[in-house]
Amino acid sequence: MSAQHTLPPLPYAYDALEPHISRQIMELHHTKHHQTYVNALNAAEIAYAKASTPKERIALQAALRFNGGGHINHSLFWENLAPASANGGVLRDGPLKEAIVSTFGSVETFQNTFNTTTAGIQGSGWGWLGLNPSSKRLEIVTTANQDPLLSHVPIIGVDIWEHAFYLQYLNVKANYLKAIWNVINFEEAERRYVEAINGSRL
């Protein structure tokens, strides 16, 4: 039997991302939504270990993908957010900034393109800045529902499920997408980028 997954603690207080992401959203998002993915992933893995036929295992794949993806995606998400007091929103000169500017022209263009692409998802999903492992280029990619990002190394992920913003931004997801750049943890993003460029995950 595989080890049970647990909800990772939030690296900051629930109200630390105010006013950009409200405490109410952070509490529900972490303690309810993410916790539910963890619980269901554990249940699905237990069932999978017990399953004795390919058919039973295949029948469990959707639950593993959905809940496993939900756990992966949200774990990455909490880490790539940071309060203003911990340099959230600050993109310092360095390899990540260079790569963004050289790929997208400017940081602003990158953010605008990211936001337009993410807002264009038809349903629930995630917007990602990812590193293409073959070309080693930064690319903006999306995944549907709780599909994890497999084609690229995830650098920054943004949750665009309605539960991520609705209580605060209602239907105006464009405002959420503008606001969230104030709390993106570019230091963590750069760590992921440097690790990916150096090939240790590829």
Partner 1 sequence: MSLQWQCTPPLLIFRNKLTLNSGDLAAPFHRPRDHMCGRVMTFDRGLVDVGLPSGSWSNALARTATMLSIARNSLRPTINRMRVARSASLHTLPELPYAYNALEPHISEQIMKLHHMKHHQTYVNGLNAAEEAYAKTPSMKEKIALQSALKFNGGGHINHSLFWKNLSPVNEDGGKLPQGPLKDALERDFGSVDEFKKRFNAATAAIQGSGWGWLGYSPATQKLEIVTTPNQDPLISHAPIIGVDIWEHAFYLQYHNVKADYLNAIWNVINFKEAEHRFLEAAE
Of 80, 111, 142, 146, the one binding partner 1 (CB under 8 A) is 146
- Check residue 47 for interaction with partner 1 (CB under 8 A): no
Q: Are 5 and 41 in contact (CB under 8 A)?
A: yes
- Check residue 52 for interaction with partner 1 (CB under 8 A): no
The string of DSSP letters for 140-180 reads EEEEETT----SSEEEEEEE-SGGGTHHHHTT-HHHHHHHH
- Check residue 59 for interaction with partner 1 (CB under 8 A): no
- Check residue 117 for interaction with partner 1 (CB under 8 A): no
Give dist(CA 41, CA 43) in Å, integer: 5
What tokens appear for 199 in the block?
């090939």
Number of amino acids touching partner 1 (CB under 8 A): 20
Of 124, 132, 141, 187, the one binding partner 1 (CB under 8 A) is 124
Q: Which of 52/122 has CB closer to partner 1? A: 122
- Check residue 167 for interaction with partner 1 (CB under 8 A): yes
Q: Are 169 and 175 in contact (CB under 8 A)?
A: yes
**Phi/psi at 92 (nearest 5 deg)?**
-80, 160
| Helix (H) / strand (E) containing 196 | helix 186-197
Alpha helix positions (H), 51-152: 54-79, 95-104, 107-119
Q: Which of 27/56 has CB closer to partner 1? A: 27
Of 23, 64, 66, 75, the one binding partner 1 (CB under 8 A) is 66
CB count within 10 Å of CB 12 equals 18
* Interface segment toward partner 1; rule CB under 8 A; list 1-9, 48-56, 118-126, 190-198: 118-126
- Smallest gap, in angstroms, from Cβ of residue 23 to partner 1? 14
- Smallest gap, in angstroms, from Cβ of residue 119 to partner 1? 11
What tokens appear for 76 in the block?
């990455």
- Smallest gap, in angstroms, from Cβ of residue 39 to partner 1? 13
**Chain residues in the site for partner 1 (CB under 8 A):** 28, 32-33, 36, 62, 66, 122-125, 144-146, 161-163, 166-167, 170-171
